Amino acid sequence: MTCGIYGIKNKINNKMYIGQSINIDKRQKIHKSLLKNNKHFNRHLQNSYNKRGKEEFEYLVLEECDRNKLSIKEEEWILKYKNSIYNKNLEVNAVYQGKRHTDEIKEKMRLAKVGLYDGIKNPNYGNKWTEQQKLKNSLNHPRTKLNESDVLRIKGLLLAGSLNDKEIAEQYNVNRTVITRISNGARWASITGGPIIFTERRGLRNIGKPRSEETKTKIKNAITGIKRSEETKEKISKAKLKKGN
């Protein structure tokens, strides 16, 4: 399993799509599947693939690195190829290009979100955490403020389906519910364009790794640890007697 930065290169014009992964082989298989089925989340890359064909693209390992250096290394490679890159609208935000949102655009973005998820429109309407849950959450999940670039990367990871919400949250040092809310459109909808396509995510996760033996054991123990109620025991007993007669 190779952890690091990978590239999808157009052999004709040397244009590159750059990404990060803790398992490059697996991630590239997902990209291949998305491109083949015309479902890739980066339309620039998909359009070029449709025009040129899969034979004109090669999948590269650009650099191997530790997991905690993935984001830094990815940004370095994106900046290196910033004038010839497919994912500039996905991973490279306005800051990389030396530009900032104008006050007018910021105000439009703010107004677009006003009242969008108020009251019963909010998917978490009616849900309340106990003080104990709030304390546990604050201790276990120190929050890091996400920027627009982070949110767009998270969108790409959600669509790719190679990591679940918890794994993505750990990578960005945020609560898992932050990722879930980005996914269902409750947060950062003005950046992501709304809810992520769940049908694609479910389909892509079927490509991913099977359950580990540890997970299987936990599930088995959880099932065997369930105690039957006296009512259930009585029904089973009666059914056995009826079957015996």
Tens digit of pLDDT for each residue in 134-191? 656 655 555 557 888 888 888 888 887 778 888 888 888 888 888 888 888 888 887 8
- Of 183, 181, 191, 197, nearest to 112 (Cα)? 191
Q: Using 50, 70 and 90 to split pLDDT, how confident is the model at 210?
A: low
Which residues on adjacent β-strands are paired with residue 4? 21, 64
Q: Where are the domains of the chain?
A: 1-92, 102-209, 213-244
DSSP string, 207-226: TSPPPPHHHHHHHHHHHHTP
> Residue 201: pLDDT above 60?
no
Give dist(CA 8, CA 57) in Å, integer: 7
CATH class of the domain comprising 1-92: alpha beta
Mean pLDDT, to the nearest integer, of 204-218? 63
The mean pLDDT of the chain is 76
Tens digit of pLDDT for each residue in 75-98? 888 888 877 888 764 444 433 344
Q: What is the CA radius of gyration of the chain?
A: 23
What is the rounded (10 degree) CA torsion for 115, 121, 126, 131? Answer: -50
- Supply the pLDDT for residue 240: 76
Pair 160, 139: CB distance under 8 Å: no
- Supply the pLDDT for residue 6: 94
- Of 158, 152, 165, nearest to 191 (Cα)? 152
Nearest 5°: CA angle at 90, between 150 and 6? 90
Mean pLDDT, to the nearest integer, of 56-63? 93
Give dist(CA 29, CA 181) in Å, integer: 27
Give dist(CA 4, CA 174) in Å, integer: 22
Cα 150 from chain centroid (whole Å): 11
Pair 122, 185: CB distance under 8 Å: no
Read off the pTM: 0.40
Give dist(CA 177, CA 141) in Å, integer: 10
Contacts of 140 (CB under 8 A, 6+ apart): none
Tens digit of pLDDT for each residue in 102-120? 566 666 666 666 666 677 7
- Supply the pLDDT for residue 78: 85
- Supply the pLDDT for residue 176: 86
